[in-house]
Amino acid sequence: MKSILTPLGPKADKDTVRRHNLSLVLRAVRDEGESGEATRAGVAARVGLTRAAVSSLVEQLMDSGFLTESGKTFSGQAGRPGTALKVARTGPAGLGVEINIDYVSVCVVDLAGTGRVRQTEHLDNRGAPAGEVLARAAAIAARTLDSAREQELRPVGVALALPGLVSGGAVRQAPNLGWNEVPAQDLFGDALTALRPGRPVLPVASENEANLAALAELWFGGLGDVRSFLYLTGEIGVGGALVLNGELLRGAHGFAGEIGHVVVDPDGPECRCGSRGCLEQYAGQSALLRAAGVDGPGAGGGSGVLELERRARAGDVRAVAAVAEAGRMLGRVVSGAVNLVDPDAVVLGGIYRGLMPWLSPPADEELTGRVVSGLWSPGSGRLRASSVAGDAARGAAALVVQDVLDDPVAYAEPSGG
């Protein structure tokens, strides 16, 4: 699955230009639709093409099932009546599959970015071989695809969100899953294809889960003017991602954002990554629960993290102290990252969301003391919890949709299909 269209160079031919313009018009309808009604005239003004050109492009996008008319018309305009346009709620869509340590979550997102189907299963993926985990995920994905079909949605590709170092379609290292050099894309793709005999083979992409959760935050998190942020997600480990000027930083090898393995104490406990004293050893879920003395779900049921939240809320001294210490370590490491990249905001997701009341004050205190420039002050709002609207599975599905929006022609329904 290609992610970025070849830029339009001087030698762009007519076909390339038309495809580019189809993408412009489709995106314009989607964006206009968010704030009101999209009309051909409005789209023409927005993208700087003539009304006639836009009408022709809209016609092709309607024929291919990307756009529909809402039925509402506007009077008083010259030429063809100003019928409101919107992106189709059916047709091309994206499938996102998050495989994490203790759950698999699958999501279908439509062209407008709306999550339409969601299936989540809690599983212990640490105990099973990689091939088995990926086959289980494929089975959940296959069921989700059936549900999508009932809604007349047609996912055109799959993106996998994986908790580790991902490059070239493989998981190079995912210490918390115990994976090394696992060709996840191929294993998942083969399993999914085997489960859907006679159906089109779906292209599969893959990406680090924190990267995709950060993109979901960017696209759906209501961040307002924030275009650059550091994202940390507390899971079994600590995932991280950097979004700079609205773009995900992937890094030279695709491994950027690994803030969980920034050293806190050079002589600290061994980390699964091979180093010592990484942030993960102080602020990861296992470390946090251990320090708080939480062994499991507790009397109230639910996960260990919910039990930790319950105890902190009840004022349990050990629980509150454990979360505060994790907050201090987070703040210390994040202050270094803020000094290095000077982001607009730092967003905490995963298990940190629910722990913010106890985590955030000591983290803010470290940041206030250690960020240069005196620009960090407690309560500045630069340290914030992630939105519930975004997660890695939705980010993955939306990444597939981005590809459709970039070049709709490539994803038009095969004739007779």
- Judged by CB under 8 A, does residue 373 bind a second copy? yes
Q: What is the dihedral of CA 25, 225, 118, 258, to 10 degrees?
A: 110
Taking CB under 8 A as the criterion, the residue among 344, 391, 403, 407 binding a second copy is: 344
Helix H or strand E encompassing 122: strand 115-122
Asked if residues 214 and 243 have their Cβ atoms less than 8 Å apart, the reply is yes
Q: Which stretch binds a second copy (CB under 8 A): 3-11, 60-68, 123-131, 386-394?
A: 3-11
Asked if residues 272 and 176 have their Cβ atoms less than 8 Å apart, the reply is yes
- Judged by CB under 8 A, does residue 274 bind a second copy? yes
Distance CA(382)–CA(379), nearest Å, equals: 8
Tell the residue number behind the tokens 């063809």, with chain if given: 80
Q: How far is the CB of 202 from a second copy (least distance, A)?
A: 29
- Judged by CB under 8 A, does residue 275 bind a second copy? yes
Taking CB under 8 A as the criterion, the residue among 56, 90, 119, 173 binding a second copy is: 173
- Judged by CB under 8 A, does residue 370 bind a second copy? yes
Asked if residues 153 and 108 have their Cβ atoms less than 8 Å apart, the reply is yes
Distance CA(393)–CA(410), nearest Å, equals: 23
Close Cβ partners of 318 (under 8 Å, ≥ 6 residues apart): 291, 292, 293, 311
Taking CB under 8 A as the criterion, the residue among 52, 201, 375, 410 binding a second copy is: 375
Taking CB under 8 A as the criterion, the residue among 4, 78, 252, 299 binding a second copy is: 252
Q: Which stretch binds a second copy (CB under 8 A): 35-43, 44-52, 147-155, 194-202?
A: 44-52
Nearer CB in complex with a second copy: 307/364: 364
Asked if residues 159 and 95 have their Cβ atoms less than 8 Å apart, the reply is yes
Nearer CB in complex with a second copy: 148/218: 218
- Judged by CB under 8 A, does residue 239 bind a second copy? no
Distance CA(23)–CA(17), nearest Å, equals: 10
- Judged by CB under 8 A, does residue 243 bind a second copy? no
Pick from 400, 352, 350, 389: nearest CA to 101: 350
Taking CB under 8 A as the criterion, the residue among 1, 41, 62, 263 binding a second copy is: 263
As beta bridge partners, residue 160 has 97, 206
Taking CB under 8 A as the criterion, the residue among 209, 258, 325, 407 binding a second copy is: 258
- Judged by CB under 8 A, does residue 53 bind a second copy? no
By the criterion CB under 8 A, which residues form the site for a second copy?
9-11, 47-49, 165, 172-173, 228, 240, 242, 244, 249-259, 261-263, 266, 273-275, 332-333, 335-337, 339-344, 369-370, 372-375
